[in-house]
Amino acid sequence: MPLPIPILGAVLAAAIGILSTTNHLLSEDRLRQTNILKFQPAKFQGGNKHERYFEGWYYKFVSQPITIQTDDRHIDGLAVKNDTSFSMAVVPGIFYSGVATSNESHAFIFVTLNGQQQHYYRFDIDQFKYASANEEYYVQVGKNRFTKHGVSLDLYPHPFDDADLIVRGNLTFTNPSPWPVSFLKLGAMGPVGWMPGLECTHGILSFDHELSGNLSLTASVKSGSSSSNATSSPTSSTLEISMDGGRGYTEKDFGRSFPSLWVWIQTNSFRKNPGTSLFVSLARIPTPLFGLEFPGFTAAIWHSGKLIPFATWSGAAFDDIRISKTEVYIAMRSHRRGRSSYRVEIFVDRRNIPEVLLYAPVNFTKMEPFVWEALRATVHLRLFDDKGIVIIDDMGDYSGLEVHGNVQYLVDNLCGKKTANKLICL
């Protein structure tokens, strides 16, 4: 027999009261200290997975303008100009194929340089190590170690790797700024993170942090059958890059597969607002509910130590979306009508931006070049408060940009358009 509504109301009120009086027990620090992986998004989430699964950590680094001996320095097609910043992304991860007899399951690290090159390094599964439940977060692939405090790189190509670059160096992170975690809001995913069977889960491990340390990049010549035989070419240059004073950003994805379409924008290299960070992700999201799919988004601005979320789960809404081969334009409010809200306008000029083809899981069977990514886009960001006063009007350089699949689906599902599904529109 169902409970009468007054009793249900009393039970709900009591539950809210208990939660409010024990709020200190549900603080972010307490939640992150538990052994529950949902509250520790940085850690490896796939300890019980052995097929149809991937997990990757995206570490992005942007240097201060660098000074080198000559006006231009080339490493097999990579041109680094004097007095310009250097951008780089390093992604460690693991992939389990959906085919039990396949040899495609492996650990990996891929590197993208200045939006001009990508290098993909394969490792055996047993070379992937990760923190246990009671250890502080780390992942290690071969000799390369990644933590929330920094990275240590000793990368060289194995025979048959899609890579010809030796990368060595140590970087330290200062003042990392993760997306806060609470019992009901699991970081970037919010309460959606509790939904079982999600195809892909996203996490922001640090919106922005300061960098210190050095990187060394050398073109290699692979010879013989042993990775130890990967050596520098006698005619190649070694590029030594100081990352002191640079900015870093870290995010991750894990699940069975990437969405069928998405738009992703990220930068924390703003000219007038150092430390400010922008993250935007729009996608078509499949659910385990009878094949239902819906357009969803999670986005945020980190500014002056404050998080301003713009997400489906936080009640945000779009005013406009334009996506073409020449631009991406997004205008949205942090809340729908009836509530005071921030408003943001984001414009990305896509013309003449170099892109590289990055590896991603495809059809549950293998990792292969699949996703075009820019790492040198420029974003014009304007943020307004609820009175229309400008908080930020700035340009973000060295921006990451991905526009993948039939993104017209997102444009068509803008609320108010005739093409939009009114039940699930943006």
pLDDT tens digits in sequence order for the chain, 426 residues long? 544 444 544 444 444 444 444 445 577 778 777 778 888 889 999 988 888 999 999 999 999 987 665 444 555 556 666 667 889 999 999 999 987 667 899 999 999 998 888 999 999 999 999 998 789 999 999 999 999 999 999 999 999 899 999 999 999 999 999 999 888 888 888 888 888 778 888 999 999 999 999 999 998 765 444 444 555 544 457 888 999 999 999 999 999 888 889 999 999 999 999 999 999 999 988 766 666 778 889 999 999 999 999 998 888 889 999 999 999 999 999 987 656 689 999 999 999 999 999 999 888 888 999 899 999 999 999 999 999 999 999 999 999 999 999 998 888 888 878 887 777 777
pTM of the model: 0.88
Per-residue exposure over 333-365, b if at least 16 CB sit within 10 Å of its own CB, e if not: bbbeeeeebbbbbbbbebeeeebbebbbbeebe
**Closest Cα to residue 236, out of 222, 221, 219?**
219
CA distances from 268 to 68, 103, 172, 309, 341 (A): 24, 38, 17, 16, 23
CA angle 417/423/426 to nearest 5° reads 55
Residue with structure tokens 């490792």?
123
Check residue 416 and give its pLDDT.
Answer: 78
**Closest Cα to residue 344, out of 407, 297, 274, 295?**
297
Residues 154 and 167: their CA atoms lie apart, in Å, by 6
Residue with structure tokens 């394969």?
122
Residues 335 and 314: their CA atoms lie apart, in Å, by 7
Check residue 92 and give its pLDDT.
Answer: 98
Contacts of 137 (CB under 8 A, 6+ apart): 40, 42, 43, 131, 147, 148
Where are the extended beta strands (E) located within 6-155? 53-62, 72-75, 78-81, 87-96, 106-113, 117-123, 128-130, 138-141, 144-147, 150-155
Check residue 213 and give its pLDDT.
Answer: 97
